Structure 1
Amino acid sequence: MTRADLRKQPEQVSAMFDDVAASYDRTNTVLSMGNAALWRRATTRAVAPVRGESVLDVAAGTGTSSASLAASGAWVTAADFSPGMIEVGRRRQAGATNIVFVEADATKLPFDDASFDAVTISFGLRNVVEPQKALAEFFRVTKPGGRLVICEFSTPPLGFVRFGYGVYQRYVMPPLVKLSSSNDSAYDYLNESINDWPDQPTLSGWLRAAGYTDVAHRNLTAGVVALHRGTKPLAL
C-alpha cells in the first residue's frame, strides 16, 4: 500500500489517494464522527455560491464538496491531482451537469488568470508540498473581488481540547481506520500532516502574503478544523 510522508512528494501523495479513493468518503464520515457533513455545509455557506457563478473546488476528491457547491446552480470545476479520486468522482457525480472534473496540480493550475468567482479547498492544502505557491495560484485564478475559502484541520486553542484530540488521534483513530479504510497506513500520514500543519494565525498570514484582503478565520468543532476566508482586491 502507498503511504506518503511529510516531504509530500506529489507522485507519492497522488498514488496514496488513488489507493483510498473508493473508501475515502466512508472513512472520513467514520473518523470525523459525522462532523464531515457539518464542515462541508459550513464551507459551502462560507463560499456562498450563486447560480451562474464559476467556482473552483481544489482537491475535490470524489466531488462530495463540489456537489454541495453545485446545488446552488453555480458551475463547479472539481480539480484534483489523483486520477483515482477523479475516476470515482466522475462516476458518483455523473448526474450533476454543472460539475466538471479536471486533473490538476494545485501549484500549477491549468486555468487562465481571473477565471473564477470563488476558489475553495477542503482538507487538501496541507497535502501540497508548497502550500504558499498554491495560494499564489489560487489568487491568480480568482477574479478581482472574488473570494477564497479554505477548510482545513487546525490547532484547537484550548489546551484540554488539544489534549483530548491527541488522545483520539493516538488511541481511537487507528482501530477505526482499520475497520473503515483499505489503506490504514495512509492515515498515519494523515495524523502526521495534521500535527505538522501551522496554526490559524500562520495560515492567515500566508493568505495576506498571497495578496488576499479581509482575511479572517472561524473555528469549527472547537478549533479541530478552521475556516479561512479572504477576498481578492478589485484593484491591484
Structure 2
Amino acid sequence: MNRADLSKQPAQVAAMFDEVSTHYDRTNAVLSVGNAALWRVATTRAVAPRPGERILDIAAGTGTSSVALTGTGAHVVAADFSDGMINVGRSRHAGNPLLEFVQADATALPFGDDEFDAVTISFGLRNVVEPKKALAEFYRVTKPGGRVVICEFSTPPFAPIRAGYFAYLNHIMPGVVRLASSNAEAYDYLGESIAAWPNQKTLSGWLRDAGFSMVAYRNLTFGIVALHRGVKAPVVRGHSDRSPFV
C-alpha cells in the first residue's frame, strides 16, 4: 500500500493517488458526509465560469470539479500530477468536448504566461510540497484581470467545532475509510495534512505575497473548509483593494 507523509514528496503523493483513483470520488462523498458536493457547488459559483473562457483546474483528479466548470460553456483544462487520476478522468468524461486532461506539476505548470481567465484548485494545494511556489505559478498563468479560487480544508474558528472535527479525523474517519477505500492507509495522511495546514489568514497572506489583489476568504461548513479568492489585476489608484467576496 502507498501512502504519503508530511514531506509530500511528489512521487510519493502521485503514487498514493494513483492507487486510490478508482474509488476516490465515492470515498470523498462518504468521508465528507455528503458535503463534498456542496463545496463543489460553492467553488463553481466562486469561479463563475463564463462561455468561451479558458479555465485551469489544478489537482483536478478524475475531473468531477472540472465538469461542473464546463456547464456554462467554458473550456476547462483539468490538470493533475497523478497518472491514475488522469486516466480515470479521461475515460469517465471522454464525451465532453469542453474538458481536456493534462498531467502537470502545480509547481512547474506546462502553460504560457497569462493564459487562463481563471485558475482553481480544490483540496490539492495542501498536497503540494512547495505551496508558495505553486501560488506563484498560478499567478503567472492567470491573465491580468483573471481570478484564482482555492477551496481547501482549514481551521474552524469556533473551538467546540474545531475539537469535534479533529476528533472525527482522528477517531471516526479511520474506521469509515476501512470500509470505503481501496487504500485505507493512504487516508491516514489526510488527517495529518489537515492538522498541519495553516489557517485561513495565513493562506490569504500567501496569496497576497504571490501578487494577487482583492484577496478574501469565506468559511464553509463552520470553517472546516475555506474558499479563498484573489484577482490578478493592477491596483487602481483611488479604488479599494477590499473584495466583495466576503
TM range (shorter): over 0.9
- CA distance 1:54–1:235, shift in 2 (3 Å): farther
- Counterpart AA for 1:167: A
Residues 89-118 of structure 1, C-alpha deviations (whole Å, 9 max, x = no match): 001111211000000000000000000000
Instruction: Name the amino acid aligned to 1:81.
Output: F
Alignment correspondent of 1:31? 31
User: 8 Å contact 1:212–1:233 — kept in the other structure?
Assistant: yes
Instruction: Tell me the C-alpha RMSD between the 2 structures.
Output: 1.0
How many pairs align? 236
Q: Equivalents in 1 of 2:201, 2:157: separation in Å?
A: 11
Q: Is the 8 A contact 2:213 2:235 kept in 1?
A: no
Partner amino acid, structure 2, of 1:9 = Q
- Residue correspondence of structure 1 range 189-200 to structure 2 within 5 A: 189-200=189-200
Give the match's secondary structure for 1:162: helix
Q: 1:208 maps to which residue? A: 208
Q: Which residue does 1:132 correspond to in 2?
A: 132
Q: 1:61 is matched with which residue? A: 61
Question: Partner letter of residue 111 of structure 1?
Answer: F
* Maintained 8 Å contact 1:4/1:189: yes
Partner of 1:173: 173
Shift of 1:200: 0.2
Q: TM-score scaled to structure 2, two decimals?
A: 0.95
Q: Secondary structure at the match of 1:71?
A: helix
Aligned counterparts of 2:199 and 2:169: Cα–Cα separation in 1: 18
Structure 2 gap segments, 5+ residues each: 237-246
Give the whole-Å Cα distance in 2 for the aligned partners of 1:95 and 1:69: 15
Partner-residue secondary structure (3-state), 1:62? coil
Following the alignment from structure 1 to structure 2, what is the Cα–Cα distance between the partners of residues 94 and 222?
36
Q: Is the 8 A contact 1:66 1:99 kept in 2?
A: yes
The residue identity in structure 2 corresponding to 1:67 is: V
**1:234 offset after TM fit, Å?**
4.2
Partner of 1:142: 142
Conserved 8 A contact 1:144-1:235: no
The aligned residue for residue 155 of structure 1 is 155
Q: For residue 184 of structure 2, give the secondary structure of its aligned residue in structure 1.
A: coil
| Mapping for residues 79-158 of structure 1, pairs under 5 Å | 79-158=79-158
Conserved 8 A contact 2:112-2:141: yes
Asked if the contact 1:3–1:12 (Cα under 8 Å) also holds between the matched residues in 2, the reply is yes
TM-score, normalization: structure 1?
A: 0.99
Unaligned runs of 5+ in 1: none
Residue identity matched to 1:162: R
Name the amino acid aligned to 1:160. P
